[in-house]
C-alpha cells in the first residue's frame, strides 16, 4: 500500500505589521504653568507662605493705623509699612518655587512627565513673577483700605501721594528680589542654603558695601554699578536718573542674568534622582 502525501497547509500569513507608534504630544505650556502654580500652593508650607502675604499686609496696615502719627498718615505711609514684609516674603517664594522640587523629591516625577526641563523652569519663572505682581496689587489694596480707615478715624482727607510710576518702580524692585531668590534656588537647589544666601545678599552685603564706600571714595562714586541692592533700594524712594537706570541694568546683569544662566546650565546638566 503506497503512502500518499497530503498537501501541507499553506503557511499562516505573517502577522500584520504593527503600526508605528507616534510620539505623544508634548504637554501644553499652559498646563505646565497651571500645574507649577498649583504646586506653589498645594503644600502646607507653600499655602502659609502665600497666606503670609495677606497676613503681613493686614498686620502692617493695622500697626500703622494704631501706632503711626495719625495727623501725618498718607498712602505712602501704608505702602512703606506693607513693603517691608513683602521684601522678605516674596524672595522666599522665588527660592522655594525652585528648590521644592529637590527638597520634596518631586524632581524625578516632574521631569519624567515633562522631560523638557527648560519648559518647566520657564513656567516656574513666569509663575513667580505673576505671583509677585498679584501680591503687590493685594498689598496696594490693603494699604489703600488702611488709608481710608485712617482718614475716617482722624477726620482728615485721605492723601494719595503715590503715583502709578512710583508703584511700578516698587513692583520692579520686589520682582528683582524674587528673581534673586530664583537664581539662588537654581544655584543651590537646597532650600536652607538658598534662603541663607538670600539673607546674606539682602542684609550682609549692603553693610559691607556701605563700609567700603566710607573707606574708598571710588566705591562711593561707582558702587551702584556693582551693588544691586544700592540701586534697587532707590526704586522704593525716588525717581531714578538715566545714570541710575543704567547702573540698575548693569548690576542686574551681574547679579541676576549671568547667575541665572549659570544656574540653568547646572539644572539642565544635573542628574535627577
In the structure grid, which three cell numbers stand for residue 162, read together? 503715590
As a whole number of Å, the CA-based R_g of the chain is 28
Cα separation, 201 vs 230, in Å, equals 11
Beta carbons of 208 and 236 less than 8 angstroms apart: no
Written as tens digits, the pLDDT of the chain (273 aa) is 455 555 555 554 554 556 666 666 778 899 999 999 998 888 787 888 888 888 988 998 899 888 888 778 888 888 888 888 888 899 999 999 999 888 877 888 888 888 889 999 999 999 999 999 999 999 889 989 998 998 888 888 888 888 888 889 989 999 999 999 999 999 999 999 999 999 999 999 999 999 999 999 999 999 999 999 998 988 887 788 889 999 999 999 999 999 999 999 999 988 877
Where do we find the cell 520657564?
122
Angle (nearest 5°) at CA 255 between 249 and 256: 80
Burial of 100 (0-12, 13-18, 19+ CB in 10 A): buried
Amino acid at each position: 500500500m503506497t503512502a500518499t502525501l497530503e498537501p501541507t497547509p499553506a503557511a499562516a500569513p505573517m502577522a500584520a505589521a504593527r503600526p508605528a507608534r507616534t510620539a505623544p504630544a508634548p504637554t501644553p505650556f499652559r498646563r505646565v504653568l497651571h500645574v507649577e502654580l498649583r504646586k506653589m500652593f498645594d503644600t502646607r508650607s507653600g499655602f502659609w507662605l502665600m497666606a503670609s502675604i495677606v497676613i503681613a499686609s493686614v498686620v502692617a496696615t493695622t500697626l500703622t493705623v494704631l501706632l503711626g502719627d495719625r495727623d501725618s498718615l498718607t498712602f505712602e505711609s501704608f505702602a512703606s509699612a506693607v513693603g517691608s514684609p513683602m521684601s522678605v516674603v516674596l524672595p522666599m517664594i522665588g527660592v522655594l518655587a525652585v528648590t521644592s522640587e529637590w527638597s520634596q523629591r518631586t524632581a524625578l516625577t516632574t521631569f519624567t512627565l515633562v522631560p523638557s526641563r527648560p519648559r518647566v523652569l520657564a513656567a516656574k519663572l513666569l509663575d513667580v513673577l505673576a505671583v509677585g505682581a498679584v501680591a503687590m496689587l493685594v498689598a496696594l489694596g490693603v494699604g489703600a483700605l488702611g488709608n481710608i480707615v485712617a482718614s475716617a478715624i482722624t477726620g482728615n482727607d485721605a492723601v494719595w501721594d503715590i503715583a502709578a510710576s512710583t508703584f511700578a518702580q516698587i513692583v520692579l524692585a520686589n520682582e528683582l528680589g524674587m528673581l534673586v531668590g530664583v537664581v539662588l534656588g537654581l544655584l543651590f537647589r537646597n532650600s536652607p542654603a538658598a534662603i541663607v544666601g538670600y539673607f546674606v545678599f539682602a542684609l550682609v552685603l549692603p553693610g559691607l558695601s556701605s563700609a567700603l564706600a566710607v573707606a574708598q571714595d571710588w566705591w562711593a562714586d561707582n558702587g551702584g554699578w556693582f551693588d544691586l541692592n544700592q540701586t534697587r533700594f532707590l526704586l522704593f524712594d525716588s525717581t531714578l536718573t538715566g545714570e541710575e537706570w543704567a547702573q540698575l541694568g548693569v548690576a542686574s546683569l551681574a547679579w541676576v542674568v549671568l547667575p541665572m544662566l549659570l544656574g540653568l546650565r547646572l539644572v539642565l546638566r544635573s542628574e535627577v534622582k
